[in-house]
Structure 1
Amino acid sequence: MESYIKEKQDEMLELLERLVNIDSGSYYKVGVDTVGSVLKAKYVEMGFVVKVREEAKFGNNMIIQHQDAVDPKIILVAHMDTVFPIGTSVERPFRIEGDRAYGPGVVDMKASQVELIFALQTMQELGVKGYKNVLVILNSDEEIGSPTSRSLIEEMSVGKEYALIMEPARKDGSLVSARRGGGRYTIKIKGKAAHSGIEPERGRSAIEELAHKIIQLHSLSDHQRGISVNVGLIEGGSSVNTISPNAVAHVDIRISEGNQAQLLKEKIEEICATTDVPGTKIELKGDISRPPMEKNEQTKSLLEIIKEVGEEMGLHLSDTATGGGSDASFTSATGVATVDGLGPVGGNAHSEDEYLDIPTLTERTLLLAKTIQRLSV
């Protein structure tokens, strides 16, 4: 199997180049659907059935399994969208320098799409058991929180035993065994304008009210317990000599345990239910929408299997927790044993220096194929 995959490296890089050179930012439906069309054709060639879930605003989502599959027990999730705006692929097209490939979305996660296709193709061509035991979800909106695909992922996770999430491995090659959950809130405050020199007493400062709220919200952070409340963006006021009539804050929430969400929601709502500056009004919108991926006993058992497969290949795999979110949270929350970071190794995702370590493309393709094989025994 190893020699077969290595012989396919040039073919894999050709597909990767094609995918990277298609703009597929989350809000660019045409681009995401173009990527989807390329991938769909590859799966159909291999005898897989592709069901397309049409979406009006964002890219379409796809459900894929082999035509001979019967009640597959493994769900694999890989997203097609990137964070980059239209035109990025023209400005920074796919390129190779030494053992690294560069380009928008090259490792997060277009290389993972290539890995997934070639892992299944290898198994099929060599008659290796397991390619009929997978259900693949290709989703279109992970980078913006999976607003359309979350319910699909949760629905398709029911009855599955294992979830393999195709986000890239960490820079050191580690798998991901835990992720923080979280959400976003927007706080809008309405005050009353007045001239700050002539009649400041007539004003009601929205910025002053927001300042109180920022301090109160930040006090909810408990980093030892993995809780983070961060007001990361604020705006407000109309001029320097005017008591501000409006102010807005955008709040990022991170949690490490599922049971932290409800209490934190209640505290945020309580803070925003009353004002500290008389005469101001508060509007709170948002939610803690992404559950954490917790390293539970199921995850530990799946990790051990993957690590055993790695050892047989000469890979000494480690695992780690990360603060970033992914679709792994959704499969994990449904009770399915979940491991993330099954993609190849690279770094600097979401930046102009994003790269893929090319040798890991075939390495992790072999690891994925052998893991699916082991889980299908």
Structure 2
Amino acid sequence: MIEIHSKESEMLQLLEKLVNIDSGSTNKAGVDKIGEIVAAEFKSLGYDVRVIGNNEVGNHLVINHPEAEHTDILIVAHMDTVFEDGTASARPFRIDEEKGRAYGPGVIDMKASLVSVLYALRALKNENDKAYKNVRIVLNSDEEIGSRTSRSLIEQETKGIAYALIMEPARKDGSLVTERRGSGRYKIEVQGLAAHSGIEPEKGRSAIEELAHKIVKLHELNDHEHGISVNVGIIEGGNAVNTISSSAIGHVDVRVATPEQASEMEYKIEEVCASTDVRGTTIALTGDISRPPMLKNEKIAKLFQIVQDVGRELGMEIKDTKTGGGSDASFTAAMGIPTIDGLGPIGGNAHSEDEYLEIASLTERTRLLAKIIQRLHVDK
């Protein structure tokens, strides 16, 4: 019998410690502090922790047990958040006893998951179950900005793995994630020619006008019915209202449902930006579709069935869903590894000032995770 419920108080204490540290993706010192705390906890359980250094973003951690007989399970979680420096002191960890919720920056996305992974493995060790040794854990520091430096690390550590468990939070209704859209980011930089809009506008070449043409054409690529979305979410440009703009920038978010759509959209976006509509302007396009779609194939469906069976043994009815958001699950799934995402605790409003954790789910989902690891180890 895996006992975790009695650990709720100390789990919340560790969670509070983590939440009250600013660890936005660009705050290297803060993310590294999270890494140091978590690494010490894993070392206390007998794990080896390998630190993958970074100069700009936080260090990544790869965690293995020196007595592992065969490592079949990869667990992936991230240590960074989306919040600006100072958020932790402005909105520190707090508990609403009446609602049964904990609040704070990154409380559900995904510092509660870091605590959950640690205590699931600790519980297995306390049961003298060898399954706790036969896992590999990757904790990365740049998931919220596209896993730019950690993608290759995750793919490398996935080799030889039988199953991948990704610790993004469960959906608000407790559902796990078995399907995700692929995603990417592009940056369009337009150069024009400045001129006074009242005295000699004919000499100017408006970068903003050119960018506007591109925005319209990009948004025409939307096909929501088939899972394609293109959104120019941020624009920059101009110095004064009476000056023809000499530069403009557009930031583009792209979502796709299939690998074929990813290839098609990369081609179409490049095609849109290959020529200009405003004579005398130039365009530079950078970016790509960096996260492939995660499709619920036969392997993922079979793994989810195992998870459901484990849930029923614990009195839990586990459902799955698909989502448009991106995660590191896309990388492991694209390598053909059976992958389940959303295995963290339940919460909601991630990336907002109302982000919360359902406290009861902290121990409940940690116990589920421990049993899944146990079952996958035995089944192998």
Q: Could you state the TM-score of these two structures normalised by the residue count of structure 1? A: 0.97
> How far apart, in 1, do the equivalents of 2:326 and 2:90 lie?
28
Tell me whether 234-243 or 169-178 shows the greater mean CA deviation. 234-243
Letter in 1 for 2:46: G
> How far apart, in 1, do the equivalents of 2:75 and 2:198 lie?
63
Q: How does 1:186-205 map to 2 (within 5 A)?
A: 186-205=187-206
Residue 41 of structure 1: aligned partner? 40
How big is the shift at 1:160? 0.8
Q: How does 1:214-229 map to 2 (within 5 A)?
A: 214-229=215-230
Is structure 2 residue 272 aligned with structure 1 residue 271?
yes
Residue 24 of structure 1: aligned partner? 23
How big is the shift at 1:129? 4.1
Residue 154 of structure 2: aligned partner? 153
Residue 283 of structure 2: aligned partner? 282
> How far apart, in 2, do the equivalents of 1:6 and 1:300 lie?
29
Aligned residues: 376
Letter in 2 for 1:355: Y
How big is the shift at 1:318? 0.7
Q: Tell me the secondary structure at the aligned position of residue 168 of structure 1.
A: coil
Letter in 2 for 1:21: N
Q: Tell me the secondary structure at the aligned position of residue 135 of structure 1.
A: strand
Task: For residues 230-269 of structure 1, give each alpha carbon's deviation from its aligned partner in whole angstroms, at most 9, with x where no partner exists.
Answer: 1111122232233322221111111111222222111111
Residue 255 of structure 2: aligned partner? 254
Q: How does 1:44-55 map to 2 (within 5 A)?
A: 44-55=43-54
Q: Tell me the secondary structure at the aligned position of residue 177 of structure 1.
A: strand
How big is the shift at 1:202? 2.3
Residue 59 of structure 2: aligned partner? 60
How big is the shift at 1:192? 2.0
Residue 348 of structure 2: aligned partner? 347
Tell me whether 15-24 or 196-205 shows the greater mean CA deviation. 196-205
> How far apart, in 2, do the equivalents of 1:331 and 1:255 lie?
17
Q: Tell me the secondary structure at the aligned position of residue 342 of structure 1.
A: coil
Q: Could you state the TM-score of these two structures normalised by the residue count of structure 2? A: 0.96
How big is the shift at 1:188? 1.3
> How far apart, in 2, do the equivalents of 1:236 and 1:33 lie?
35
Residue 162 of structure 1: aligned partner? 163
Residue 233 of structure 1: aligned partner? 234
Task: For residues 195-214 of structure 1, give each alpha carbon's deviation from its aligned partner in whole angstroms, at most 9, with x where no partner exists.
Answer: 33333322222222112111
Q: Tell me the secondary structure at the aligned position of residue 156 of structure 1.
A: helix
Letter in 2 for 1:305: I
Q: Tell me the secondary structure at the aligned position of residue 63 of structure 2.
A: strand
Q: RMSD over aligned Cα, in angstroms?
A: 1.3
How big is the shift at 1:354? 1.0
Tell me whether 54-63 or 190-199 shows the greater mean CA deviation. 190-199
> How far apart, in 2, do the equivalents of 1:84 and 1:206 lie?
32
Q: Tell me the secondary structure at the aligned position of residue 221 of structure 1.
A: coil
Tell me whether 126-135 or 40-49 shows the greater mean CA deviation. 126-135
Task: For residues 120-149 of structure 1, give each alpha carbon's deviation from its aligned partner in whole angstroms, at most 9, with x where no partner exists.
Answer: 011111123411221011111111111111
Letter in 2 for 1:49: D
Q: Tell me the secondary structure at the aligned position of residue 8 of structure 1.
A: helix
> How far apart, in 2, do the equivalents of 1:93 and 1:329 lie?
32
Is structure 2 residue 121 aligned with structure 1 residue 120?
yes
Letter in 2 for 1:244: S
Q: How does 1:76-115 map to 2 (within 5 A)?
A: 76-98=75-97, 99-115=100-116
Tell me whether 89-98 or 304-313 shows the greater mean CA deviation. 89-98
Letter in 1 for 2:39: K
Q: Tell me the secondary structure at the aligned position of residue 130 of structure 1.
A: helix
Is structure 2 residue 68 aligned with structure 1 residue 69?
yes
Letter in 1 for 2:216: I
> Structure 1: 5+ residue runs without aligned partners?
none
> How far apart, in 1, do the equivalents of 2:285 and 2:71 lie?
43
Q: Tell me the secondary structure at the aligned position of residue 268 of structure 2.
A: helix
Letter in 2 for 1:104: P
Q: Tell me the secondary structure at the aligned position of residue 178 of structure 2.
A: strand
Percent identity over the alignment is 62
Task: For residues 262-288 of structure 1, give each alpha carbon's deviation from its aligned partner in whole angstroms, at most 9, with x where no partner exists.
Answer: 221111111111111111111111111
> How far apart, in 1, do the equivalents of 2:202 and 2:41 lie?
69
> How far apart, in 2, do the equivalents of 1:57 and 1:191 lie?
32
Q: Tell me the secondary structure at the aligned position of residue 171 of structure 1.
A: coil
> Structure 2: 5+ residue runs without aligned partners?
none
Q: How does 1:287-302 map to 2 (within 5 A)?
A: 287-302=288-303
> How far apart, in 2, do the equivalents of 1:22 and 1:206 lie?
41
Residue 330 of structure 1: aligned partner? 331
Q: Tell me the secondary structure at the aligned position of residue 376 of structure 1.
A: helix
How big is the shift at 1:174? 0.4
